[in-house]
Amino acid sequence: MTFGLDHSPGVLDLAARTSAFVDEHVLPVEDAHGGDVAVAGGDDLRRQLQKQARDEGLLSPHAPVEYGGLGLGMVDRAPVFEAAGRSLFGPLAINGAAPDEGNAHLLAHVATAEQKEEYLRPLVSGEVRSAFAMTEPAPGAGSDPTALCTTATRVPGGWRINGRKWFITGADGAGFFIVMARTSGSPGDGHGATMFLSPADVPGIEVGRHITTLDRSMVGGHCEVDLRDLFVPDHGVLGEVDRGFANAQVRLGPARMTHVMRWLGAAVRGHEIALRHVAGREAFGSRLADLGMAQQLIADSEIDIAATRALLLRACWELDIGERASTSTSIAKTFAAEAIGRVVDRAIQLCGGLGVSEDLPLARLSREVRPFRIYDGASEVHRWSIARRAVGRAVAAGGR
């Protein structure tokens, strides 16, 4: 596969139409409700916006064509998801928000034909939402997934699952769950996990408290979920038994990159707002845009945006050609999470008092992008992983 820095006319047209759709239909709703999706209508809003996106041919750009999506690979998703990310509600509107987008990617690559019909097709159409239940309270799985404590025990005809999850995005109102549970080994072992598919409306799944976080744009919140004698039949196993950690990698790398795409769109929006402000605001006898300190902030944000795009496209290209891309996705995710935060923070600084007010969306953008340094792997964990691989390569190469 040839690596280029351009996109086909069809992809660029889709990105332009997505941007226009977001500007016309989505940004006004976000602005009217301060970026709080629950206040804006939650699932009712989701269904309304996704119907409009479907009518305009914009729904589920990431999903396989045979299941109702537009079939974009990772590189081609980048400009489209960035365009959607201009609004905090934009990814939701095109059915490209977390966790549904990542779950659709996982199902497309790992699920059986029967599972795809039962779970993937309604997810792609927007008929249902989903949740990915892996994270647990201490001492369970978090930044270290091998600490997984939730257990799945063999019983006649299937599995009995018990455990407690938390920070499960989209859990309230999800139509189904992908549950990670330990089928062999002990917490700390890097093997023995299995993924299970389960409808949400069965005995044994209890969605509890919404954990209040900085961000407000995720439908269904970040919830505690109790699994109490949840029965999953054998046909509910997603992938192979005891191969859950390996199969989860199919989802995690791409999902980190689509997070980068979405939040980059938010950062670019914030940067554009700041540029318009400093180009029209006068202080100390000149435009703010002509002052050296302002120009440094602007230039640094331009650099962060360009570098984020470059690292993102490199990682996406590796994923598209079938590589695991562990190092590239970790590098891109870590840099982007911090660069995006810097871009939004500089935009606030450039806009002064307006930047921290509700008159501009910058304060809410700052609130939304800050958790990205923790979500999908904390920056410190990614740095540890990047360094460990670098040392491993040096040791394997030998010499001085």
CA 331 to chain CA centroid, Å, is: 16
Q: What is the mean pLDDT of the chain?
A: 96
DSSP assignment of 217-284: --TT-EEEEEEEEEEEEGGGEES-TT-HHHHHHHHHHHHHHHHHHHHHHHHHHHHHHHHHHHHH-EET
> Do 111 and 178 have their domain in common?
no
Both 195 and 297 in a single domain? no
User: Domain limits at 361?
Assistant: 245-397
Whether 1 is in a domain gets the answer no
Cis peptide before 139 (omega within 30 of 0): yes
Residue 399 has pLDDT above 70, yes or no: no
- pLDDT at residue 77 greater than cutoff 70: yes
DSSP 360: S
Q: For residue 322, give every residue at least 6 positions away whose Cβ sits within 8 Å of its Cβ, in sequence order, or none.
A: none
Nearest-10 Cα torsion for 232, 235, 239, 242: 50
Residues 174 and 308 in one domain: no
Q: In this predicted model, what pLDDT tens digit does every residue of 184-198 receive, in sequence order? A: 999 999 999 999 999
In this model, does residue 1 exceed pLDDT 80?
no
The CA-CA-CA angle for residues 308, 314, 316, to 5°, reads: 95
C-beta atoms surrounding 400 within 10 Å? 2
Q: What interhelical angle do 326-351 and 292-320 show, nearest 10?
A: 160
Please indicate, yes or no, if residue 203 is contained in any of the structural domains: yes
Residue 4 is predicted with a pLDDT of 67
Q: Does residue 3 lie within any of the structural domains?
A: no
Output the domain CATH number for residue 189: 2.40.110.10
**Res. 284: pLDDT tops 90:** no
Confidence check: pLDDT of 283 > 90:
no
Task: Express as a percent the part of the chain with pLDDT over 70.
Answer: 98
Percent of residues, the chain, with pLDDT higher than 90: 96
Residue with tokens 């999850």: 165
What is the average per-residue pLDDT within 329-352? 98
CATH of the domain at 269: 1.20.140.10
Q: d(Cα 267, Cα 86) in Å, to the nearest integer? A: 8
342-365 mean pLDDT: 98
- In angstroms, rounded to a whole number, what is the distance separating the alpha carbons of residues 36 and 29? 10
Contact 304, 343 (CB under 8 A): yes
Looking at the fold, whether 68 and 198 belong to one and the same domain comes out as: no
261/233 same-domain check: no
| Mean pLDDT value across residues 98-113 | 98
- Are 253 and 388 contained in the same domain? yes
Asked whether residue 45 falls in the same domain as residue 149, the answer is: no
Q: Which of 34, 35, 173, 151 is nearest to 100 (CA)?
A: 173
Total structural domains within the chain: 3
Is the domain of 249 the same as that of 237?
no
- Give 12-35 as a DSSP string: HHHHHHHHHHIIIIIHHHHHHTTT
**79 has pLDDT over 70:** yes
pLDDT of residue 231: 98
The whole-number pLDDT of residue 325 equals 96
Q: What is the CATH number of the domain that holds 71?
A: 1.10.540.10
Domain boundary among 219, 242, 265: 242
Q: What are the phi and psi torsion angles at 208 (to 5°)?
A: -110, -130
- Domain for residue 4, yes or no? no
Is 179 domain-assigned? yes
My answer on whether 387 and 249 are in the same domain is yes
Q: Are residues 257 and 392 in the same domain?
A: yes
Whether 62 maps to a domain, the answer reads: yes
Mean pLDDT of 209-236: 98
Last residue of one domain, picked from the residues 210, 242, 274 = 242
Q: How many CA atoms lie within 13 A of 176 on its CB side?
A: 24
User: Which of 199, 214, 242 is the C-terminal boundary of a domain?
Assistant: 242
pLDDT reading at 162 higher than 80: yes
- For residues 17 and 113, membership in a common domain is answered with yes
Q: Are residues 236 and 206 in the same domain?
A: yes
Q: How confident is the model at residue 6 (pLDDT cuts 50, 70, 90)?
A: confident
Assess if residue 212 is contained within a domain. Answer: yes
